[in-house]
């Protein structure tokens, strides 16, 4: 997973910098989170992604991410989660 994320970040930021001068200052945050989704939940995830902007008007990404981590008993250190 780490290799996939590294390649996606590297290639997408390079393309963005080359194609759009106004995004030359763009950079990815250092960290990332990756979660597996069972086939039975794919449609729910697609729906969530389609409505993500509206959803985050009510709950911040940071609060939602913490909620997911708690729900799955994943320990984290705030110093390493946010840039």
- Note the pLDDT tens digit of each residue in 1-12: 999 999 999 999
* Other CB atoms within 10 Å distance of the CB of residue 55: 13
Q: What is the CA radius of gyration of the chain?
A: 15
Average pLDDT over residues 16-22: 94
Q: Which pair of structure tokens corresponds to residue 58?
A: 């009510």
Q: Which pair of structure tokens corresponds to residue 14?
A: 């390079």
Average pLDDT over residues 65-77: 92
What's the pLDDT tens digit per position in 49-62? 999 999 889 999 89
């Amino acid at each position: 997973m780490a290799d996939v994320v590294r390649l996606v970040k590297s290639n997408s930021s390079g393309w963005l910098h080359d194609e759009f001068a106004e995004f030359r200052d763009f950079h990815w945050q250092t960290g990332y989170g990756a979660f597996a989704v069972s086939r039975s939940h794919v449609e729910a995830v697609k729906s969530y992604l389609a409505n993500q902007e509206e959803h985050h008007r009510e709950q911040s990404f940071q609060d939602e991410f913490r909620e997911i981590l708690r729900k799955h008993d994943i320990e984290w250190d705030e110093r390493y989660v946010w840039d």
